[in-house]
Amino acid sequence: MTRTAAVIGGGVIGGGWAARFALNGWNVRVFDPDPEAKRKIGEVMANARRSLPGLLDVALPDEGTISFHPEIAQAVAGAEWIQESVPERLDIKHATFAEVQAACDPGAVIGSSTSGFKPSELQQGAAAPGQIMVAHPFNPVYLLPLVELVSTPANDADRIKAAQAALTSLGMYPLHLKKEIDAHVADRFLEAVWREALWLVKDGIATTEEIDNAIRYGFGIRWAQMGLFETYRVAGGEAGMKHFMAQFGPALQWPWTKLMDVPEFNDDLVDLIAGQSDAQSGHLSIRELERARDGNLVTMMRGLKAQDWGAGALLNAHERQIRAGSVHGAVAADFPADAPVPTAHRTVPLDWTDYNGHMTESRYLQAFADATDRFMQIIGCDADYIASGGSYFTAETHIRHLDEVHAGTVIDIATQVIEGAGKKMHLFHEMRAGDRLLATGEHFLLHVSLETRKPCAPSDGIEAALTRFAQGHAALPRPEGLGRAIGAPR
């Protein structure tokens, strides 16, 4: 059953929420009085479609619908999650919550994107305070997983658990803060860095570009994968955090930061910073900067994904969740023996493309190799079996590139067993986008003992599963291109 979310306020953050929900299969209802809201959210969706699906190695659910409604009551009717992203004024938020609660399902979660207000302030005067909690995301909402979920005693445990489960299903990380404070946690760090940066610019110590370079070429990369305290624990060497604290603790007494001492926020300071920022990146449009940002984030997070670390570990967990509820969690007996086996359903990520703007050669091999790995899992050659000492080694591969594949394309791979007997496994993969045949991959593998590194017979269970498919697929038409050598006529 398709789930429904309502987004109240369709600006940068609201639009990001709409994209995160819709691309994870939710239907989204939007209320925003801005006549340009549909266009703006459409542009956000275009960026999100280009980047978010490529974080995973399995396709996201079918995209939900986004509809626009002239009244809050229409938008929230039947929604299980309502996300408020209106301007940061408490009176506007209170009026919005009153309209929402007059029409919404009593069981719905009402999350606020507020970056500064405490949930107790948001709940003041509400008809049902327990529905409202802070769900503060980070831009771009459709890529960055963190959500600061801040509650009060008015929010019962069941509603908090429901909120956590819903956010986790979107591939997000709900950081539950049980004690409220102005600006929550993350923005307090950002504000401290921002204040120090204002002084550094005002005093002529560094330009906006130099400050940005100090972050992105240095500690910003460390923070992205380890955060603050784990980074400093490593900095303490073998003696760990206690040594680090003893070594750098005295620095707390030194005038290294201005902290809460803020420079006068006048026109001169605004013009100075705006001018330097224009010189730094004014040659790029906001949409161009967003696409560069998204591409960089996808590439970094996919790198972390390969290491199963930080945000990458979260992506792996989300991917396992999607696989478990799809055909990609099935085993051999779940597939008919007389039809090609679906072994991949994924989106081509941004970092799979080359200077020609289409998928580079090595990624075709990766896609087909992943399909082979999936087929191995289906017949029982999974991680546990490999750990016990048996596996398949690829002896020969032939790939035909038949059509272009671009970033964002959803590809499916179906696998036909040409031969499967004893230690031999001969597979033929077809990669498609809808009805369009993109490429084929032919692979010959041998079962080996990982102890002797020599070919040997597989387990009886694997051989039986492989033989079942080989016999069933023998009645299928011979794939076009099977056994074809490079340069040979079709």
- Which residues are annotated binding-site positions for NAD(+)? 9-14
Q: How many CB atoms lie within 10 A of CB 32?
A: 24
Record the tokens describing residue 229, joined without a space.
Answer: 């305290």
Record the tokens describing residue 435, joined without a space.
Answer: 């009805």
Distance CA 363, CA 405 (A): 10
Contact indicator for 470, 417 with CB cutoff of 8 Å: yes
Q: How many CB atoms lie within 10 A of CB 99?
A: 16
Q: At what angle do helices 311-324 and 286-307 cross, to 10 degrees?
A: 80
Q: Where are the alpha helices (DSSP H) in 308-359?
A: 311-324
* Strand bridging mode 132-136 / 109-112: parallel
**Nearest residue to 335 via CA among 475, 469, 463, 470:** 469
Residues making up the annotated binding site are: 9-14
Distance CA 426, CA 274 (A): 62
Residue with tokens 């890529």: 143
Q: How many CA atoms lie within 13 A of 123 on its CB side?
A: 18
- Return the amino acid letter for 412: D
Q: How many CB atoms lie within 10 A of CB 277?
A: 15
Distance CA 117, CA 96 (A): 15
- Return the amino acid letter for 139: N
Tell me how many degrees the CA angle 325-326-330 measures, rounded to the nearest 5. Answer: 105
Distance CA 79, CA 81 (A): 6
Q: How many CB atoms lie within 10 A of CB 157?
A: 8
